[in-house]
Amino acid sequence: MIEELISANWVPLLVLLFALAGLAGFLAGLLGIGGGLVLVPGLFFIFNALGYTTDNIMHLAVGTALATIIFTSASSARAHWKRGSVRFDLIKRIGIGMVIGVGVGTYIASNVTGLWLTVFFAVTLIILAGLMMINPEKFSLFKDVPKNPWPSFTGVGIGIVSTLMGIGGAALNVPFMTLSNVPIHKAVGSASAMGLLIAIPGAMGFFIIGQGNTTGLPPFSFGYINFLALAIIIPVTVFFAPLGVATAHRFSTQVLRRVFSVFMVIIAAKMVYEVFRTAA
């Protein structure tokens, strides 16, 4: 650890982490997206650019993103709860399956390479970009959320995918609930609370499975969580999120979401290129 601290390129690392945190917070406020969709690829590129090219870098990016979501989801859920936008019946019906899915996702992550995890993230990111092109309020498949066990089964899938991607699950939970005729504000509020059911066990899982695998990782990496990035990202995202919210009121949110969707596809393609270039 001492050698890593001495050799670390501190100025670029800190500058890039602050810039990434500001971007993640701004986009979260602007588009209502979870930070993981920005933080995971951002951390992946930052660590690789600074020479940390070990196979576990993607695991570190995912684990760190999950840890940040604990704080952002808690803050968001509290705000939505005060407005009466959290449906606890949905959290119970979907959340049980999500927790199981987190366990399965963590187990999968502990047994796959960084290359596989990166490709999975990139492919799923492209799919989510397609979902962002759609206005969820214009579609519904059910009159209400189906009775169990279907919400629990859906929760398992959402938990697995969200854990492997380092996201809070809103990108999947909100479309599922709106397709089930849940009003968008209730869907977003409930999804923000469900993020805790993914982030807390997910972060704990990545911390545990990363024990003994920190060789070649950036300074202050314990398990698959980088606490330096965590300490910077949490306050900076909170500061920049209101700026994104203010900007959102000046433009068409749907147009901005479509532009960001294209950006997501480009990022996904770049990640796949980088991982295969490094592997070669």
At residue 226, φ and ψ (nearest 5 deg) are -100, 110
What's the average model confidence in pLDDT over 247-268?
75
* Residue 232 covered by a domain: yes
What's the average model confidence in pLDDT over 195-217?
90
In sequence order, what are the beta bridge partners of 226? 221
* Residue 187 covered by a domain: yes
* Residue 5 covered by a domain: no
Residue 102: partners with Cβ closer than 8 Å, 6 or more residues away = 159, 160, 162, 163, 197, 198, 201, 202, 205
Whole domain around residue 182: which residue ranges?
10-279
* Residue 226 covered by a domain: yes
The whole-angstrom separation of Cα 93 and Cα 27 is 30
What's the average model confidence in pLDDT over 39-53?
89
* Number of domains comprising the chain: 1
pLDDT tens readout for residues 48-96: 888 887 889 999 999 999 999 888 888 777 877 887 878 888 888 888 9
- The helices-and-strands tally (H runs, E runs) of the chain is 11, 2
Amino acid sitting at position 25: G
Q: Which two tokens stand for residue 223?
A: 């398990």
| pTM for this prediction | 0.87
Largest CA distance in the chain: 60
Q: To 10 degrees, what angle do helices 253-279 and 114-132 make? A: 160
Nearest to 198 by CA among 73, 28, 23: 73
Tell me what the pLDDT averaged over the chain comes to. Answer: 83
pLDDT tens readout for residues 132-184: 776 655 666 666 676 778 888 999 999 999 999 998 887 888 888 877 888 77
* Residue 1 covered by a domain: no
* Residue 32 covered by a domain: yes
* Residue 175 covered by a domain: yes
* Residue 3 covered by a domain: no
Q: To 10 degrees, what angle do helices 150-165 and 114-132 make? A: 120
Cα dihedral 103/42/207/275 (nearest 10): 80
